[in-house]
A = this chain, B = another copy of it.
Amino acid sequence: MHLTQALKRAVQIKGNEIASFCAGRERTWLEARERIARLAAALYSLGIKDGERAAILALNSDRYLEYFYATPWAGGVFVPINIRLAAPEIEFWLNDSGSRVLLIDDRFLPVLAALQGKLDTVAHVIYVGDNNCPDGLLDYEQLVASHPPMEDTNRGYEDLAGLFYTGGTTGRSKGVMLSHRNLVTNSYNAVPALGLATDMKWLHAAPMFHIADGCAIFGVTAVAGTHIVIPAFAPEATLQAIQTHGITNTLLVPTMVNMVVNDPDVLNYDLSSVRGITYGASPMPEAIIVRAMEVMPDCGFTHAYGQTECSPLVSTSGPECHVLAGPNAGMFKSAGRAVIGVELTIKDGQGQEVPRGTIGEICSRGAHVMQGYWRQPELTANTIKDGWLHSGDAGYMDERGYIYVIDRIKDMIISGGENIYSAEVENALYQHEAVVECAVIGIPNEQWGESVHAIVRLHANQPATQEELIAFCRSLIAGFKCPRSVSFRDAPMPLSGAGKILKTKLREPFWPDQSKGVN
């Protein structure tokens, strides 16, 4: 169980076939291995060995792909950095991971300037862009050209392979430690679950720093498919790449699916090569997936659910669930069933499995579960209990093993001993025509512990009162779940980098001691 084994197998069986296509550059698997073994030698000479960390802050490219293999080849650990972060967050990730080397492209040179003097461990910065290498940086292509290929250090199994940072919407970011075993296991699980096959052409349109696309990086190499890379998602670029390269598979987050299938030109592109689209990472509105199924009737859609802590794949609902009639009609709303190799269950607060249909915390166990949070043993112990990864997601499982994700556990309100899922209340409020945006939180209440409070933004020309909204909710959900109070705001809700509403911020005024705000 070494990440580089899949690369070697791809070289063996398809040495002269195309491994990657990016920005007009084609690389065969033989060329890719040669370049990776040379880059590994360069990284090794810069101290990336024996578990030392090399971070990358860049848009997608074939060099990003090479980095994902050269780092373990040299014996190092990769640290892909979220490209949407602000400079102080990047600073935290680099320092927390103790990265000795940073790879960076043109887009992030200004950030590098802003971090001058603030990085504790970064000793070398490698420029992975296509222009002239800026002064003081090492040129990627020159490193590859000047280092003879090294032998694979053959790091594997329980050795740390990568740190994937997560969180940040509440509390500080956490480095998720994924071993070779974790990531190799995930790629095994992904092959049947995502329908990966050796003749596939995978489009990397989603950002490669994210574990969701990372899962494809290792999975596509496992089947010796072809990687097609575009620097970043844009609807036209994606449609164009599909048509030009005959893309068979890709992964998109719901907003990307929305932008593609609702692009005014979508029907002018030949998308007939697409066999499978995987989506996940945030809820998929029904209208969008139904539209996608109309636009690409021959494409099999797969709804994937997971967490970075799970390397990431936990469950999928595949093409058999993306139907509008029959016994599986609408099953795409489910986050699916456990992929092969994953033990999945729903637990109550005492760690006991709940009956089917009962809401609890989604937990999974198996070789896909992270080693832990980087240098945070206490947080690790709170998250992995008796081998079970506690996802923090509330959901239930139906009789056929399909799970449904309801809410984040931390957004659950406990009022008078009853568990109330904020998402359920929000879903009710969103059905009121006056509501543009809403968030439901628990606020302190002496009698009930917490009481349900809604924060609502209304359409400019559609007034609604607190009483009216509460009455509306009562017509849809049980009384104890309905808001006891509503506050109105004109400004949009505060959002995280990932576009999620920052409930922590919304809770702050109500919880002066922060006891509910941080977790």
Contacts and interface: CB of A to CB of B under 8 A. Distances in A.
Contacts of A14: 400-401
Given A192-B223, A367-B1, A338 B9 contact: yes
A8 B400 contact: no
A6 interface: yes
Contacts of A400: 13-14
A188 B13 contact: no
Contacts of A1: 185, 341, 366-367
A367 B344 CA distance: 24
A340 B8 contact: no
A484 to B, nearest CB: 38
Interface in A165-205: 184-185, 188-189, 191-192, 197
A13 B188 CA distance: 19
Interface string A388-399: 000000000101
Contact of A340 (B191, B341, B367): B191
B343 A8 contact: yes
A12 interface: yes
Interface centre among A8, A9, A15, A400 (most CB of B within 10 A): A9
A189 B401 CA distance: 24
17 contacts: A1-B341, A1-B366, A1-B367, A6-B341, A8-B343, A9-B338, A9-B340, A9-B344, A14-B401, A15-B399, A157-B367, A188-B340, A191-B340, A192-B192, A192-B223, A222-B340, A223-B340
Contact of A13 (B5, B338, B367): B338
Interface centre among A184, A337, A341 (most CB of B within 10 A): A341
Interface string A328-369: 000000000110111110000000000000000000001100
Given A9-B401, A13-B338, A222-B340, 14 more contacts: A9-B340, A9-B343, A9-B344, A12-B338, A12-B344, A12-B397, A13-B401, A14-B400, A14-B401, A15-B401, A188-B188, A188-B189, A191-B340, A192-B197
Interface string A377-411: 00000000000000000000101110000000000
A366 B5 CA distance: 8
A411 to B, nearest CB: 27
A450 to B, nearest CB: 33
A340 B400 CA distance: 30
Contacts of A6: 340-341
A191 B142 CA distance: 42
Contacts of A337: 12-13
A372 B244 CA distance: 51
Contacts of A185: 1
A188 B185 CA distance: 9
Nearest to A222: B340
A336 to B, nearest CB: 10
Nearest to A399: B15
A15 B337 CA distance: 13
Interface string A1-34: 1000110110011110000000000000000000
Nearest to A13: B401
Contacts of A401: 9, 12-15
Nearest to A184: B341
Given A12-B401, A13-B337, A400-B13, A5 B343 contact: yes
A197 B318 CA distance: 13
Interface centre among A8, A12, A400 (most CB of B within 10 A): A12
Interface centre among A1, A222, A344, A367 (most CB of B within 10 A): A367
Contacts of A8: 343
Interface string A467-481: 000000000000000
Contacts of A367: 1, 157
Interface centre among A8, A397, A401 (most CB of B within 10 A): A401
Contacts of A340: 6, 9, 188, 191, 222-223
A161 to B, nearest CB: 15
A342 B13 contact: no
